[in-house]
Structure 1
Amino acid sequence: MPTELSIACALSASELPRRLEEMAHLGRAALVDAHADSRWAKLCFAAGAGVRDRVLAVAAAEAGCCAFLTMRVTDEPDTVVLTIDAPDGAELVLAELVAAFRGRPEPAR
């Protein structure tokens, strides 16, 4: 029988704003496009020096605190793509992440 993951962020109240600001900083530096609905997001970053590594680092960090999200980093011509899938009940978390990358890091978790 599969085990369901809890939809809860493991970051502390002091860690969350720093993480969201890190996402906002990356977004301001490299985000060129974002598409999202309630349970899916595709964030496109201009490929540049260190951008892929920064996107990978954010995805790995989020995997540690929000294991219920599925994050994939792929490459397209001149673009690093972060795709995020959220299960039912995690819509607010996904919206918060997308908002942070768009430069509006407001913790809601």
Structure 2
Amino acid sequence: MSTDDQQWAPTACTLPTAERPLRVAEFDDLFTTALRDQQRPSPTRLRWYLDPAAETVARELTTRESACCSFFTFSFTPDGDTLRLDIEVPDTQVEVLDALAARAAGRVPR
């Protein structure tokens, strides 16, 4: 696991270490196939604009992520021709959100 992956999975995460690379790969796949844009409205909030066709996959993935990292709050909102996904964390988990934003940024289409 890389250092970025370790920042993304803090000690509060209950996902078994062996499963973490698989979860990272699932997020990478979502970024590659569905992420259209991202914004950072505040230090504790990240906003992704996804292809609406990925809603089922994104909801299932974020539900599983919330189960092991309960500090995440994921909210879905239809937004024109995209699906908006807001991700919020407490102040104590901003570093995790930073790592997630950086990972996604490398996959946003230009």
Gaps of 5+ in 2: 1-10
Report the equivalent of 1:23: 27
TM-score of the superposition, structure 2-length normalised?
0.77
Report the equivalent of 1:92: 95
Gaps of 5+ in 1: 1-6, 105-109
1:43 aligns with 2:42: no
Distance 1:18 1:33 in 2: 23
Give how far 1:103 is off: 4.9
1:38 maps to a residue whose letter is P
SS in 2 for 1:90: helix
Kindly indicate which of the two structures has a greater share of residues assigned to helix: 2
TM-score of the superposition, structure 1-length normalised?
0.78
Q: Deviations over 1:8-63 (max 9, x none)?
A: 11112111111111011011001011012431100011222xx0001101110111
Moved over 4 A (4+): none
Identity value in percent:
30
CA-atom RMSD, angstroms? 1.8
Pairs aligned (count): 96
